[in-house]
Amino acid sequence: MQKIEATALDSSDNNKGILLESGTNEFEIVEFDIGEVHYGINVAKVREVITKVPVTAMPSAHPYVDGLFTLRGKAIPLVNLSRAIKAKGSDDPKNIIVTEINNYTIGFLVDNVSRIHRISWENMEPAPEVGNEAMVVGVIKMPDKIVLLLDFERIIAEINTEINQKLSTVDKVTAPIEARRRTKHIVVAEDSRMLRDLLVETLHNSGYEFVRDFNNGKSAYDYLISLKDANGPIEEQVTAIISDIEMPQMDGHRLLKLVREDKVLANVPLILFSSLINEEMRQKGDRLGATAQISKPEIGQLINIMDRIIFKD
């Protein structure tokens, strides 16, 4: 593990921690604190960490947003993370985590950034269901503490109206298209409850009525393995798989690797639908055999690509 200094983490660095071997089910997190609680964010989402800089207030800004700060000539929104997650933070926060999520650059003000940890997704548990407003997607148990992984996509979706629009905009469904989709069986693996519920609802409204959804890759994989013992060809049991990359227990790359290595499941289309899709991650997905890779929040694009893959037209 390494100590983080300001500006030590930069997405342009070819040695960045995300360049882990594909499909190993490992990832790295940046640990930070708000008050007495330890939180984490996937290194793949982080461009760099800086010390707190002056902020310019914006009229009528979202309540989570303190204003704008400038980094290398670019104005970037700054989210007060303690306010966003309703946590008691320090009166003098020290660091800004600059992120790129869903092709959107945004900073998060936190009390203190401490370390980078490399861990296995197997060591992260899904967050307990504690209410509709839960912002935590995973719990990492360490020998001396618990680190909570936050649902940053949800926070950004609440702030950015353009992302909200992309999450809810799909083509109008005609009766012939709906009828074609109705017989297909879709498996969804997505750890964010907000996005999972929205994705399932969108699939249902589009005509894909049979959807099995899971909040982690391992549960989805166990279900897929169980289908191998069902009567009939596998293509009658599962038509396509939609998977996030960042998930507890088993990430999307590991799920993809195991599916492609299984003689029965190998030809099932698997679409990666993730906020982590960039050029490096796209190359990983291609090497592992992803059928398609789509960056959140383009749900409409996801539905259209699914149709082309499933119906081959």
pLDDT band at 47 (very low <50, low <70, confident <90, very high): very high
Amino acid at 297: P
Q: What is the DSSP string of 9-60?
A: --TT-TT-TT-PPTTS-EEEEEEEEETTEEEEEEGGGEEEEEE----B--TT
Lowest mean pLDDT among 18-22, 136-140, 174-178: 18-22
Residue with tokens 């030590």: 8
- pLDDT, one tens digit per residue, over 93-109 is 999 999 988 778 999 99
- pLDDT, one tens digit per residue, over 180-208 is 888 899 999 998 887 888 889 889 888 89
* Exposure b/e, 124-148, CB count within 10 A at least 16 = b: bebbeeeeeeebbbbbbeeeeeebb
Q: How many CB atoms lie within 10 A of CB 277?
A: 21
pLDDT band at 169 (very low <50, low <70, confident <90, very high): low
Amino acid at 141: K
Domains of the chain (ranges; CATH) run 2-159 (2.40.50.180), 168-311 (3.40.50.2300)
pLDDT band at 18 (very low <50, low <70, confident <90, very high): very low
- pLDDT, one tens digit per residue, over 255-310 is 999 999 999 999 999 999 988 887 888 899 999 999 999 987 777 788 888 889 99
Residue 242 above 70 pLDDT? yes
Residue 17 confidence (pLDDT): 40
Return left, alpha or beta for 207; rule: phi > 0 is left, psi -120 to 50 is alpha, else beta: left
Q: What is the DSSP string of 204-265?
A: HHHT--EEEEESSHHHHHHHHHHHTTSSS-GGGT-SEEEE-SS-SSS-HHHHHHHHHHSTTT
Please provide the average confidence, as pLDDT, over all residues in the chain: 84
Residue 188 confidence (pLDDT): 96
Residue 20 above 70 pLDDT? no
pTM of the model: 0.75
Q: Which two tokens stand for residue 73?
A: 């000539």
Rounded Cα–Cα distance for residues 149 and 40 (Å): 5
- pLDDT, one tens digit per residue, over 111-160 is 999 999 988 877 788 777 665 456 888 899 888 899 999 989 888 888 87
Residue 168 confidence (pLDDT): 52
How many CA atoms within 13 Å lie on the side-chain side of 7?
4
Higher pLDDT, 201 or 221: 221
